[in-house]
Structure 1
């Protein structure tokens, strides 16, 4: 009886742990982009999303994530995260971020797209380097992902 209870508890624990809907740390230099399959190395342009079932998708560039969303849709996605350009390795909620497309700031896949945790910081970089600012919704429209 103890063996049956132990087995049932173990299975239940595995099910509960495997269904967490939260982001995982990106392992720079070893994780591959879910869209283009390149190794994720750029801590200023990486991104990721987590489905409502807890499945992780990591990307080497924001444009890879947005292009993936254009193909799959956004209905089943729970969490969207993008790298904060000014704090390499730090992720911010994609829906709250401000985006800058600027020829002076190169991104891994060539869209010159960077995310910023605050609009104020994006405006400072835009003033120095030029480019156009976008909200999350505007970005999805630009990439035909909405």
Structure 2
């Protein structure tokens, strides 16, 4: 009976540890984009999302992640994360970021789309580089058009 109890506890621990919903660092130069299959090298534009079961999908650009939604049940996604302009390699909540589409800020897949941690940072860069600001919801709608 004691052995059965130990197996039950071990099984529960494995179940809970296998569903760890947390970001995983992007391995620049070796991780591949789930959408376009290119190697992720740009440390400003990479993104990832994590499912409710803890599986991580990585992308070389925000537009790749958004385009991948056509192939994926987004109700299964727990976290959306993006790199942002002022702190390359840092991940922030993509749903709270502000985005600029500006021909003066190139991105890996040619959408000229860049994420910023907050709106004030985005507005400052927009004043210098031009372009149009988008919230996460506005950006998703823009890509559906």
**44-53 vs 70-79, which moves further:** 70-79
Map residues 24-63 of structure 1 onto 2, 5 A cutoff.
24-63=24-63
- The answer as to 2:113 corresponding to 1:100 is no
Question: Residue by residue, what CA displacement relative to the aligned partner does 1:94-126 show, whole Å, maximum 9, x if unpaired?
Answer: 111000001111111110100000111111111
Partner Cα separation in structure 1 for residue 140 and residue 19 of structure 2: 27
Q: CA deviation at 1:8?
A: 4.5
Structure 2's unaligned 5+ residue stretches are none
Q: TM-score scaled to structure 1, two decimals?
A: 0.90
Partner Cα separation in structure 2 for residue 27 and residue 4 of structure 1: 41
1:17 maps to which residue? 17
Alignment root-mean-square deviation, CA: 1.7
1:129 maps to which residue? 129
Aligned partners of 1:21 and 1:51 also within 8 Å: yes
Q: CA deviation at 1:10?
A: 3.9
Q: How many residues align?
A: 145
Partner Cα separation in structure 1 for residue 32 and residue 97 of structure 2: 23
SS state of the match for residue 109, structure 1? Answer: coil
2:80 maps to which residue? 80
Aligned partners of 1:70 and 1:143 also within 8 Å: no
Partner Cα separation in structure 2 for residue 72 and residue 139 of structure 1: 18
Structure 1 segments, 4+ long, off by >2 Å, are 1-14, 70-74
Structure 1's unaligned 5+ residue stretches are none
